[in-house]
Structure 1
């Protein structure tokens, strides 16, 4: 059922491309307007500085994009994306040492942001009623009687009439300012910036034949140390040696509130002070192919359009333009894809675009966004360096700082030994379940208590804390039944 002649999407990044797929069945024409010149291949561009850092495509995002663009996951893997099981394919250092390998409920698709967007662009270009116009900047919205009626383009005498407009312009979107100029009140903005900075460098891996026999892993993760004693700042870093397409990796180091290396020399020296020598050793065996890329724009920001008394009609917001997250938590693309899929569901139920459509969508979208937002707040509110409207009172911050690390390690430890805890933890990580729902589930609580008792008695089923300065253990510690089931799946 068609709901209008023209829909316009502001922004041609991942959020905008997903939105185009959501709108295409319901409008005669969908026009995507993108300021950058879009490359034909997987290449970096000015408007997506985050493309130079690792990107996880969470399971909720995979499913949402797959629903919008059937065959997306197969196309991504065919283009070089890697389908891996992190618990088996990643060497993971948490607590005092390496975790054991063990099959789990979670798999992930690894690939660069530029590859994900290239495959998405290819899928959008297959839609006959979608037009992508790149190299075009938008200067404003036109409105009438409380609804958005179109957009005006910069540097050209052109206006596009639209029956529906979606803002997917990201963190720097000007739409809220345009709405204020048109007479709407400025929306409430919730913020929390935990001063996360991270720095990345791209490498070519040695060929499989040239790699050491001990390199069973594909992904290397080093979590910040739990040690409260004196140590180098680098022990506080969250470190990734992140695999992407074409036998490449992104070496990434990040921190909350610490200075990060900006030059190649400083990057290499910092890597040598990370608490596991494997990271620097892996870099030494690989060939650098880029300079060092540093990002500071990592604050959480939620523009609460849903709290406007009369939100603008025929306008929606998807991705960072409404809710941007600390990129450390890998929620951005998956959250945007989820919002686009939710928009499609609302459009599919509409006989026409009634005046209350946008307000109802915003109300449902709020529930969707609250899941990743709550996860980000649960971690970032514990840092003394955090600033913003959501900065916790000092007593609460100290409480979060004291309990969040041990609580996380308790959940990770229980997930190693309890399939139900593992399943729910995977759902939370992949935005399929809220942290609150997980932590109020009686079976999960029982699993955590049981693990805590067994740990106190020294009766672990799966070993952990293998020497951080040694090679990660290759042994598969999966129970035989679980291993056989995983193979069968």
Structure 2
């Protein structure tokens, strides 16, 4: 079914590329307007500053991108991405120490953002009716009857690489311009009402630096992990600010890693000296030791634009015909939760479904898309709110009452700890948590599942009775223990080695009863 001659996509990042992929079968031509000159390889560009930080593709995103571009996951892995099982290949510093290694159903793709975009660009360039125009700046919309039942966007205005202003007619325009999209303001100027916005900014700041990993034969035997994670301390007593950081030593393609530290409301290091000094003060010496063992490849990159923002075009009395928004242009999340790319790809799949079911780009099409997109976005939005609403420093329309903030701040991490602990011994809890983490189920679904709640309660009783079978709470001041507790009755320990450990403190594979943090 052909819906018209031309579809125009504003922006050539993940949201725009996924949108181009779903539009190609439905329009004679698809034109992507991108401000940057796109690099031929996996390189950073000005329009995507967040590419310098870690990125996940959650299961929902993996499926969506694979549906839009068959073979995407295989191409990403072939280009250098890694398919890992975090419960086995990541060391997690939790509330009271290192968590145990144990197999699970959760797998994730690890790669740099720039590699993901390069693979997506390669897929888009295979589509014969898609054109990417680079070095152009979108400056406005061409519309008619703004704000009325017949109000429609008919095209876009842009400045080409020579600085000349041009108008491009379109049957459908997709706004994929990201957080800073001006489309909402352009619609108001053209006669539409201002789309309501939901906002919540928990003042998250994070800072990252890229490293080259040492050769495999130069890594100590204690370095069994590929991903190192430190969650914020839950110690109410005096402690350094650095213990409040959420920190990742995150593996990416090219035998590299991104060291990333972030916090809610704290000042973060901006230069290499301060970055290294902060790492030395983290709860686990293994993090700074991994940095010292690796070779720095970049300066320190800091990001503050992390607020949650949802532009509710679905609440307009007369939403514009001929226009939809995808990705951060409609709903941007705190990047800590790794939901942005997956949400964008999922919205693109929603667009594909609605295009397939509607013959005309009329009010029915727009309303159907907005309704389905809203349902899709509610899942990650609820997850983001569940965490960020617990901070007194948060600002925006979605700030919770003081009593609720107090409760959320007190219970959010303990609840998370209880879920991860129970998941190690209860398959239903593990599968449910994996589904929620990967946006396959909502937080509401999880917290109203009787079997899930029973699993949490049963595990707590076993803890009180000392009857849990998977040990936890290994001393975080030592190297992460490499013992595999997939079969708790027969734990598999790494072979002992005479060479020094990463922190020069303890070998991997500590005894199951290793001392907890004091």
TM-score by length of 2: 0.92
Residues 219-238 of structure 1: CA deviation (Å, up to 9, x unaligned): 00000011010000000000
Partners of 1:468 and 1:17 in 2: CA distance: 42
CA contact (8 A) 2:469 2:488 kept: no
Per-residue CA deviation, residues 8-46 of structure 1 (Å, 9 max, x unaligned), is 000000000000001111000000000111100011011
- Output aligned runs, 1:65-104, within 5 Å: 65-104=65-104
- Other-structure match for 1:149: 154
2:288 pairs with 264, 277, 280, which one? 280
Instruction: Say if 1:37 and 1:405 are closer, same or farther in 2 by CA, change over 3 A.
Output: same
Contact 1:60 1:432 in 2 (8 A): yes
**Cα deviation code 1:153-172 (max 9, x no counterpart):** 12323211100000000000
Q: 1:84·1:110 contact (CA, 8 Å) conserved in 2?
A: yes
Aligned: 1:400 with 2:408: yes
Instruction: Report the counterpart of residue 162 of structure 1 in structure 2.
Output: 170
Q: CA deviation at 1:135?
A: 0.4
Matches within 5 A, 1:348-387: 348-387=356-395
SS for the counterpart of 1:31 is strand
How far, CA to CA, are the matches of 1:297 and 1:262 in structure 2? 15
Give me the whole-angstrom Cα distance separating, in 2, the residues matched to 1:335 and 1:442.
Answer: 28
For 2:404, what is the secondary structure of its paired residue? helix
1:482 Cα shift?
13
Once the 2 structures are TM-superposed, how far is the Cα of residue 480 of structure 1 from its aligned partner? Answer: 7.8
Aligned match of 1:415 in 412, 417, 423? Answer: 423
Give the corresponding residue for 1:47.
47
Distance 2:173 2:202 in 1: 32
Q: Which residue of 1 aligns with 2:107?
A: 107
Listed as ranges, the gaps of 5+ residues in structure 2 are: 146-150, 492-518
| 8 Å CA contact 2:379, 2:441 repeated in 1 | yes
Give unmatched runs, 5+ long, in structure 1: 484-489
CA contact (8 A) 1:313 1:359 kept: no
The answer (yes or no) to whether the contact 2:206–2:261 under 8 Å persists in 1 is yes
1:356 alignment partner, SS class: helix
Query: What does residue 474 of structure 1 align with?
Result: 482
Q: 1:318 aligns with which of 326, 331, 350?
A: 326
- Equivalent position SS for 2:5: strand
Tell me which protein shows more helix as a share of its residues.
Answer: 1
Deviation at 1:457?
1.0
Q: TM-score, normalised by structure 1?
A: 0.98
Partners of 1:314 and 1:357 within 8 A in 2 = no
Contact 1:198–1:294 (8 Å) recurs in 2: yes
Q: Distance in 2 between matches of 1:376 and 1:351?
A: 36
**What is the alpha-carbon distance in structure 2 between the residues aligned to residue 404 and residue 83 of structure 1?**
29
For 1:38, the equivalent position in structure 2 comes to 38
Paired with 2:411 and 2:300, the residues of 1 have a C-alpha distance of 34
CA distance in 2, matches of 1:84, 1:231: 33
**2:424 aligned counterpart, secondary structure:** helix
| Matched positions, count | 484
Q: CA deviation digits over 1:111-170, x for unaligned, max 9?
A: 000000000000000001100111011111111230110011123232111000000000
> Alignment RMSD, CA only?
1.3
